[in-house]
A and B are shown apart, each in its own frame.
Chain A
Amino acid sequence: MKAVTVRTRSPAAGGPSLPARHGRYRGETYYDRPALKAAHWDWTVSSYIFLTGLAGAAQAIAAIGQALDRDRYRGVLRNARFLSSIGSAVGAGLLIADLKTPKRFYNMLRILRPTSPMSFGSYIFGAFGGLSWLSALGELRSGRGRLARLVRRSADVAQVGAGLTGAGASTYTAALMASTSTPFWAAAPRWLGLQFATSAVASAAATLSLAERWGGRTDNSRRLDRLAALATAAHLVASLGARRQRHDKGLDEVSESPQGRRLELGDLVIGGAVPLAAYALHRLTRERAPALSVVGSLAVIAGGFLLRHGTMNAGHASARKPRAYFRFAQPENLPRDRSVIRLGPPR
């Protein structure tokens, strides 16, 4: 059949309008019944998002460490490689478990669709997992033989790739959530991207810091703590920005719901205020109490999971609240220029 091109003209100010007599939206609904359907995703999906964020950023940090001072960051490299290879295997398992027809998981790689983060994300995640396993082989193979050297060298090359795909693996999940009609995810796409990226780096730095402290490399742990603290501070800014934008788009009803409150407690307090206070105190007390660093790192990691899980659940709640969706789906919230991002196959 011949392709049909559907053009969307630039909207008049505020987009198309109803006949004047209908006035502004005043909270009408259809017997308060949901206007949207929520995704069926449960803890398996939020755990996957958390895990790929952690593993992806860990490989990026390890790649930086490898480039800067390979000997110094040997431990970081080793831990990141094992963490991400095991993490990507677990993540794949979680994704398959989440499918309603799991035996058809391979259909995920049947096509590549740039308009679907779940589609291109599967490839990013697949590449990340493969490169992570390749990098982990470098840790298993010791010795001086030619094969051992080849494996180690290719592991180092794979490390760079794992770091780059790790950046994609830990951020594409924000696009996956933002490009739905679920209002809580859709209302603040940029901030959601910032939240997921900063949280991924923070939790990866915190995890690697814990491992370095465990291995007695306190100086590395100190450096990673600084990175975790910086990322957490950036994360706090992103979370407040997301909150504000959701307010501007009429989603207060969701933010003030139990799910919204739980997200704020987990994200802003456990993943934000607590670790920043712990890291600051650790520094102010001249690092006399290593427990403070450990507490800070654990809080960052917990906050990273609570951000993903809380965001997911608040999204589900928002899909079930017709007023929240209808307030969000008003002409004044339409993107100003719809021609900016034109994705999709040529039609």
Chain B
Amino acid sequence: MDQQLTPYTTEAERTAGVRIEPGKRYGFFTDTTVCIGCKACEVACKEWNQLPAEDMSLTGMSYDNTGALSATTWRHVAFIEQVRPAQDHERDDGVPDRWLMMSDVCKHCANAPCLDACPTGAIFRTEFDTVVVQQDICNGCGYCVPACPFGVVAIDDCDGKAHKCTLCYDRLKGGLEPACAKVCPTDSIRFGELSELDAVARERVEELKAQGVEEAYLYGTPDAPGATGGLGRLNAFFLLVDRPEVYNLPSAPTRPSQRIGAALGAGLVAFAGLAAAAVTLLAGTRNGGGR
């Protein structure tokens, strides 16, 4: 890209130390060990993207009253309160002894199942290697919704279109880092170029292990849990310290379009077999030759 277009320092360079250029691959590294559950990311996302509030009631299960990602909620902070079997009886008072918090988001998969599924071309891959739904093309067929292995994309019944995180496509075009990453007070959400984020994330895992947090691992980097079954990698990836399912993530998701061949092939073979049988059964002289 022509460097002369932006001779000045863009905002993302100052806030995230990242120069945003078309043709490079960007994503999020969400380090859940430093998330404090403030939900500033949820609010910043709603504000920037002008997403309406949803059900205002309390879930009653934890401090998570957002519940899940939806058509109008593109960041969701999960609160996991863990009461472990007490090592000593003094601690056995039902008070959570560990809180895990994770800001969930669209994973912007390298081989995105929603993009694979989209029959209209509304979902496309941007010049920043992110995955975005074009609202002026989507016809609300809803096929991307069951395609997503992470339950991210959703249809909004108000406008009849599919919606999800755009990784602030409009901000990236303007040289701004995504709203959630910019607002995150602990840098739990880090925006950047994938190669740099990968290095930062690996370093962080080593650091945690050196501190004795043996259970730390990355979810969504190439050949790690979450980037399985043909998904390649997740451009928004996570550092977790418990099983993925605890955070509502699958251990080994798959790219659904890899199953097309098996289903279609088996169906056509069976159809052809029955057609061959039909030739035999329907052949014969008038009155069936006594068969």
| Residues of chain B contacted by A21 (CB below 8 angstroms) | 214-215
Contact B215 A22 (CB under 8 A): yes
Contact A326 B251 (CB under 8 A): yes
| Residues of chain A contacted by B148 (CB below 8 angstroms) | 36-37, 181
Tell me if B80 counts as interface (CB < 8 A to partner A).
yes
**30 A-B pairs (CB sep. < 8 Å):** A1-B23, A8-B230, A16-B228, A18-B225, A28-B243, A35-B245, A37-B148, A37-B154, A41-B142, A108-B141, A111-B121, A113-B118, A113-B119, A115-B116, A122-B119, A167-B268, A171-B263, A179-B116, A179-B259, A180-B146, A185-B146, A186-B254, A193-B264, A201-B275, A219-B286, A219-B288, A230-B277, A234-B270, A326-B251, A329-B250
Q: In the bound complex, how far is the Cα of B260 from the Cα of A193, in angstroms?
A: 10
Q: In the bound complex, how far is the Cα of B143 from the Cα of A182, in angstroms?
A: 11
Q: Which residues 221-278 in B have Cβ within 8 Å of A in the complex?
A: 223-225, 227-233, 242-254, 256-268, 270-275, 277-278
Interface size on B, as a range, is 35 or more
Contact B145 A37 (CB under 8 A): yes
Q: In the bound complex, how far is the Cα of B278 from the Cα of A1, in angstroms?
A: 53
Contact B111 A175 (CB under 8 A): no
Q: In the bound complex, how far is the Cα of B155 from the Cα of A230, in angstroms?
A: 42
Tell me if A118 counts as interface (CB < 8 A to partner B).
yes
Please name the residue on chain B nearest to A96 by beta carbon: B139
Contact A4 B129 (CB under 8 A): yes
| Residues of chain A contacted by B118 (CB below 8 angstroms) | 113, 116, 119
Q: Distance (Å) between the CB of A156 and the closest chain B CB? A: 17
Can you add 17 more A-B contacts, CB < 8 Å, to A167-B268, A227-B282?
A1-B22, A8-B111, A16-B225, A18-B251, A37-B148, A38-B145, A64-B278, A69-B283, A100-B141, A104-B140, A111-B121, A172-B264, A179-B116, A191-B266, A193-B263, A219-B286, A322-B245
Contact B272 A167 (CB under 8 A): yes
Interface centre among B25, B152, B267 (most CB of A within 10 A): B267
Q: Distance (Å) between the CB of A72 and the closest chain B CB? A: 7
Q: Distance (Å) between the CB of B240 and the closest chain A CB? A: 9
| Residues of chain A contacted by B215 (CB below 8 angstroms) | 19, 21-22
Q: Which residues 145-196 in B have Cβ within 8 Å of A in the complex?
A: 145-155, 157, 159-161
Q: In the bound complex, how far is the Cα of B62 from the Cα of A165, in angstroms?
A: 53
Contact B80 A186 (CB under 8 A): no
Q: In the bound complex, how far is the Cα of B148 from the Cα of A343, in angstroms?
A: 17
Q: In the bound complex, how far is the Cα of B141 from the Cα of A113, in angstroms?
A: 15
Chain A residue total in the interface (Cβ 8 A): 111
Contact B278 A99 (CB under 8 A): no
Contact A194 B250 (CB under 8 A): no
Q: In the bound complex, how far is the Cα of B267 from the Cα of A181, in angstroms?
A: 20
